[in-house]
Amino acid sequence: MSSPDPAAPTTAPPTGGALLEVAGVGVRFGGVVALDGLTFEIQRGSICALIGPNGAGKTTLFNVISRLYPATSGSVTFDGRDLLKVPPHGIARAGIARTFQNVALFPGLSVLDNVRVGAHTEGRVGFVRGLVGLGWPENRRMAAESMSILERLDLAHLASRPAAGLPFGTLKRIELARALASRPKLLMLDEPANGLTHAEVDELAATIHRLRDEFDLTVLLVEHHMAMVMAISDHIVVLDFGRRIAEGPPEVVRNDPKVIEAYLGTADDGDGGP
Amino acid sequence: MDLFIRYILIGIGNGAVYAALALALVLIYRTTGLLNLAQGEMALFSAYLSWWFTTHGVPIGLAIAFSILLSMIGGAVIERVLIRPVTAPGKSHLNVLIVMLGMFLAINAISQLLFSTDAEPMPKPWPSVSSPGDPVGRSARLLDIGNTSISWAVGALALTLIGLCLFLYLLLQKTKLGLALRAVASNPASARMVGINTSAMLMVGWALAAGIGALAGSMVAADRGSVSPGLMTVVLVYAFAAAALGGFDSPVGAVVGGMIVAIAESLTIGYVDALSTIELVVPFALILLVLLVRPTGLFGRRVVERV
Grade residue A128 by pLDDT with cuts at 50, 70 and 90: low
Q: Is A125 on the interface with B (CB under 8 A)?
A: yes
Q: Where is pLDDT greater, at B274 or B284?
A: B284
Q: Hey, how many other C-beta atoms are within 10 angstroms of the C-beta on B255?
A: 26
Partner B contacted by A143 (CB < 8 A)? no
What is the pLDDT at residue A4? 46
CA max distance for chain B: 69
* Cβ–Cβ below 8 Å for A139 and B177: no
Which residue, among B118, B113, B115, B83, has the nearest Cα to B99 in the 3D structure?
A: B83
Answer yes or no: are the C-beta atoms of A74 and A163 closer than 8 Å.
no
Q: Which region among A22-36, A64-78, B253-267, B288-302 has the lowest average model confidence (pLDDT)? A: B288-302
ipTM of the complex, rounded to two decimals: 0.71
Domain total of chain B: 1
| Predicted pLDDT at A266 | 57
Residue B78 has pLDDT above 90, yes or no: yes
Split at pLDDT 50, 70, 90, the class of A88 is confident
**B194–A120: do the CB atoms touch at under 8 Å?**
yes
> Which of A92, A100, A127 minimises the CB distance to B195?
A92
Mean pLDDT, residues B185-206 taken together:
86
Which residues is B148 bridged to in the sheet? B145
Contact between chains at A92 and B193 (C-beta distance less than 8 A): yes
The CATH architecture that domain A96-183 belongs to is 3-Layer(aba) Sandwich (3.40)
- Contact between A130 and B176 using a beta-carbon 8 Å cutoff: yes
- Distance to chain B for A41, nearest Cα, Å: 22
Contact B255, B23 (CB under 8 A): yes
Q: Which residue from A97, A131, A182 is facing B171, i.e. has the nearest CB?
A: A131
Residues in B closer than 8 angstroms to A125, CB to CB, are: 175-177
Q: Does A108 touch chain B (CB under 8 A)?
A: yes
Percent of chain B with pLDDT over 90: 49
- Whether the per-residue pLDDT at B173 is higher than 90: the answer is no
Torsion sign (Cα): B14, B15, B16, B21: positive
Q: Say if B303 falls within a structural domain.
A: no
Lowest-confidence region among A6-20, A128-142, B31-45: A6-20
Domain hosting B111: range is 2-130+140-293
The answer, for A132 touching chain B at a CB cutoff of 8 Å, is no
For residue B306, tell me if it sits in a domain. no
CATH for B230: 1.10.3470
Point out the residue among B178, B190, B204 whose CB comes nearest to the CB of A106: B190
The yes-or-no verdict on residue B230 having pLDDT over 60 is yes
Q: What's the rounded Cα separation, in Å, for the pair B23 and B300?
A: 13
Instruction: Tell me the average pLDDT of chain B.
Output: 87
Given a contact cutoff of 8 angstroms between Cβ atoms, the answer to whether B149 and B4 are in contact is no
Confidence at A102, pLDDT banded by 50, 70, 90: confident
Measured between beta carbons, which residues in chain B are less than 8 angstroms from residue A97? Answer: 194
Pairing of strands A73-78, A18-29: antiparallel
Q: How many CB atoms lie within 10 A of CB A127?
A: 15
Element (H, E) at B98: helix B93-114
Residues A190-214 have pLDDT tens digits of 999 888 888 888 889 999 999 999 9
* Residue A136 pLDDT level (bands cut at 50, 70, 90): low
Confidence of residue B38 (pLDDT cuts 50, 70, 90): very high
CB contact under 8 A, B195 and A106: no
pLDDT confidence of residue B133: 55
Q: Is B180's CB within 8 Å of A117's CB?
A: yes
The residue ranges of every structural domain in chain A are: 1-88+188-195+218-266, 96-183
**A127 CA: distance to closest CA in chain B (Å):** 7
What is the reported pTM? 0.79
Q: What is the pLDDT of residue A82?
A: 92
State how far the alpha carbon of B239 is from the alpha carbons of A242, B13, B19, B203, in Å.
53, 14, 7, 22
Q: Which of A63, A66, A86, A89 to mutate to test the interface with B (most CBs of B within 10 A)?
A: A89
B88: helix, strand or coil: coil
pLDDT of residue A217: 93
The DSSP line for B195-234 is T--HHHHHHHHHHHHHHHHHHHHHHHHHHHTEE-TTHHHH
Whether the pLDDT of residue B216 is over 60: the answer is: yes
> Nearest CB to A91: which of B171, B178, B195?
B195
More confidently predicted of A214 and A14: A214
Chain B residues within 8 A of A109 when measuring between CB atoms: 179, 182-183, 186
- Give the integer Cα–Cα distance in Å for A57 and A65: 12
- Answer yes or no: is B300 within a domain: no
- Residue B157 resides in a domain: yes
Mean pLDDT, residues A166-182: 90
A to B CB pairs, distance under 8 Å: 89
Check pLDDT > 50 for residue A246. Answer: yes
**Secondary structure of chain A as H, E, C letters:** CCCCCCCCCCCCCCCCCEEEEEEEEEEEECCEEEEEEEEEEEECCCEEEEECCCCCCHHHHHHHHCCCCCCCEEEEEECCEEHHHCCHHHHHHHCEEECCCCCCCCCCCEHHHHHHHHHHHCCCCCHHHHHHCCCHHHHHHHHHHHHHHHHHCCCHHHCCCECCCCCHHHHHHHHHHHHHHCCCCEEEEECCCCCCCHHHHHHHHHHHHHHHHHCCCEEEEECCCHHHHHHHCCEEEEEECCEEEEEECHHHHHCCHHHHHHHHCCHHHCCCCC
A178 touches chain B (CB under 8 A): yes
Pick the residue with more confidence: B202 or A129?
Answer: B202
Contact B195 A131 (CB under 8 A): no
Q: Which of B254, B248, B260 is nearest to B296 (CA)?
A: B248
Q: What is the mean pLDDT of chain A?
A: 83
Is residue B302 in some structural domain? no
Q: Which CATH number fits domain A1-88+188-195+218-266: 3.40.50.970, 3.40.50.300, 3.40.630.40, 3.40.710.10?
A: 3.40.50.300
Residues 6 or more apart whose CB falls under 8 angstroms from that of B143 comprise B149, B150, B155
Mean pLDDT, range A224-241, rounded to an integer:
90
Is there a contact between B175 and A120 if contact means CB atoms under 8 Å apart? Answer: no
Instruction: Tell me what pLDDT residue B290 has.
Output: 85
Has residue B302 got a pLDDT over 80? no
Residue contact A108–B197, C-beta within 8 A: no
Band (A117; pLDDT cuts 50, 70, 90): confident
Is the model more confident about B147 or about B30?
B30
Contact A89 B180 (CB under 8 A): no
